[in-house]
Structure 1
Amino acid sequence: MQSRTPAPRAAGRPRSAAADTAILAATRQALVELGWSKLTLQDVASRAGVAKTTLYRRWAGKNELVVDAVAELFDELELPDHGTLAADIEGVVLQFAAILARPEARSGLMAVVAESTRDAALRERIRQSIVERQKRLVVDGRARAQERGELPASADPEEAARTADLIFDVVAGAVVHRTLVSAEPADEQWARGLTKVLLLGLAGTA
């Protein structure tokens, strides 16, 4: 699992990975049981079995803690190898939708995104901890499809990077809107339709 990016701390005793794990797990549990609005650092500390000051040494506040707790869920996303680009995309879309269906992801993500509209530092943390980290799926998926001969090789690295950003925005935006805004099921039929639209766009670009 990739590393978290909690708040900087003063030099001192080494951080405990076990404490970090317990705190993030406790945060997700609190999101499920209480929701974002009622979650407090004191409650998280009690659930994790640590002092409240331990949280403040690692995270600047509640929003940053929730971002990292939710980001850990998205680190579970994996690029499947189903033999075709279409099947691989459908697999990622269904994984993504399943994570967003979890109450801790749904309530946590919606809350911090709303908070980030007036907090540039929080918005950057979301971008770095969640968005940028998951763009690897697009990069790896395109590379695999190119090796299979399903997509042409990228001649211009800058253009390839811009295209990867756009693909991620299209897929992530569609899944988030479907599951969190429209509150409709992102099932296999829907994932297949989204994939078909995306691949037609890629074919047109090629």
Structure 2
Amino acid sequence: MLASDSALFERAFEVFNEVYFDCGLPDAVITIQSSPKSFGYITVHKVWTDTADSYHEINIGAEHLARPIENVLATLLHEMVHLFCMVSGINDTSKGGRYHNKLFRDEAEKCDLKIEYAQYIGYSKTSPTDRFIEVIKENGLCADISHSRTGVISVDLPPAPGGDNGTDGGSGIGGVGKRKSSTRKYRCDGCGISVRATKDVHLICGDCMTSLVKV
């Protein structure tokens, strides 16, 4: 069922490799898998192998395929920029790969991507420029994605030590009525993902690369 979608990503990889990297990127395995908290990712290590070689994996989050095609393909190119930096010896991230630094921004902007800064995550928030949209149109990459995965996008964090079970509407003890919930709810204003925590925390949306707002 996903054959046409996979073929589109394979074709887009070839086009972007030629247009933006002078065909200098090695092949990568492109997958479509569940990734509710991320538009996409690339593995640091080569996790796929065959009789000839081994390959990095670029995953496109299955829950986010319903976005405009230019945004989905911008995610693919974002991950390809990481691949370029890896093979070129460019240290484009820090803090365990979470923080995208100015080296990543500079390389991504060379590839017609708009890169915005987000606190704690760095230069990671990615969107297509007009020139990028022209490239995908010129190369026939504007086909609609056929499928997207539905799934739960709300995440509950583990309770803090000594805290309650973190659920809303818990039963009162000894018939004293409903006990007030100690959970806090956080929401991303960009994509709407919500998270509950049993203490005040600072959270970043892995999709939009922006801070979640306490509600």
TM-score band w.r.t. shorter chain: under 0.3
Structure in which a larger fraction of residues adopt helix: 1
Structure of higher RCO (CA pairs closer than 8 Å, 6+ residues apart): 1
TM-score, normalised to structure 1, is: 0.27
Structure in which a larger fraction of residues adopt strand: 2
TM-score, normalised to structure 2, is: 0.26
